[in-house]
Homo-oligomer: A and B are copies of this chain.
Amino acid sequence: MPDDTLHVLGFAGSLRRASYNRGLLRAAVETASADVVVTTFDLSSIPPYCMDLEAGGGPEPVRELKTAVAAADALLIATPEHNYSFPGVLKNALDWVSRPANSSPFIGKPVAIMGASSGRFGTARAQVALRPVLASLDMLVMSKPELFVTQAEKVCDEDGSVVDQATRERIYDVIRALAAWARQLRAG
Contact = CB atoms under 8 A, between A and B. Distances in A.
A139 interface: yes
- Identical chains bound together, number: 4
A94 B187 CA distance: 30
Interface-centre pick from A47, A86, A88, A184 (highest chain B CB count, 10 A)? A88
A150 B122 CA distance: 13
A135 interface: yes
Nearest to A187: B188
A5 interface: no
Contacts of A93: 88
B87 A89 contact: no
Given A88-B90, A141-B141, 15 more contacts: A14-B50, A15-B49, A15-B51, A46-B48, A48-B92, A82-B98, A83-B91, A83-B98, A85-B91, A85-B133, A87-B91, A121-B121, A125-B128, A135-B141, A184-B185
Interface of A: 14-17, 19, 43-44, 46-52, 82-95, 98, 120-122, 124-125, 128-129, 131-133, 135-141, 143-144, 148, 150, 183-188
